[in-house]
Amino acid sequence: MMIRKEETWGKRSNGTRGTNSSNSAKSRKTDVGAGRDIELAKKQYHEYVNDNGYLTDEEGLFDKVDLLAKPLKENTSLYRGGSNEELDAIMSQLKLNGGYDKLVGKTYTDKYLKSTTTIKRDAIDYTNDVMDMNDMREMEGEPPLTGVLFHYNAKKGTKVINRKEHDNSGGRGAAGENTIAHNQKYTITNIKEVENRYGDNEYHVYVDVEGNPSKQTSRKRK
């Protein structure tokens, strides 16, 4: 009996139909898994921006959030209001002693998400929160904090999450929120001590930020 050519092809190659079907199933499984990760990332990000995640970015707690981050298409000015406790943490990370001027010129990788804004006024308001915090600290016998206004020059390629794209909740500072992903590279270029409009001293810290290809942006759970 003569075997038709198409039958021989099917036997020798296991058939293109079977192979394509297997590949399609794998592709669908991958797509479903990726979709679940994105949904989890959005859930984690909502918790981050709405449930005081700025203070609780612990190992693994927001391990999927960086899936939402996109590289900046151009250099972008971002701002953040904080206190000198953040400068102290950087000093500790770099094992530096002395004044904050020692930080100028230093480069480090920040393993935490960094909440920033495109609206400078919002960052200034957060910087001024230090005055209220100091009232409480004085009652508790703790030393006062100094406000810090961070000026970030986020360079093209820095991975950032635009809040408006993934979370429609409102709240203070929501309009301009841009969250810098984990493990980006920071270089402090200048620090100035100035007097704000209330007569209190504060620091203005100027920082270049860029993507860090040697580091994974996603953090794994313990």
Instruction: List pLDDT tens digits, range 114-154.
Output: 999 999 999 999 999 999 999 999 999 999 999 999 999 99
Give residue 166's pLDDT band: very low, low, confident or very high (50, 70, 90).
Answer: very high
pLDDT, tens digit, 9 for 90 and up, residues 53-90: 766 777 678 999 999 999 999 999 999 999 999 999 99
Mean pLDDT for the stretch of residues 99-107? 98
Locate the domains of the chain by residue range. 68-210
Answer whether residue 6 shows pLDDT above 80.
no
What's phi and psi for 6, nearest 5 deg?
-70, -30
Residue 81 burial (C-beta neighbours within 10 Å; 0-12, 13-18, 19+): buried
CATH number of 68-210: 3.90.176.10
Q: What confidence tier does 22 reach under pLDDT thresholds 50, 70, 90?
A: low
Give the global pTM.
0.80
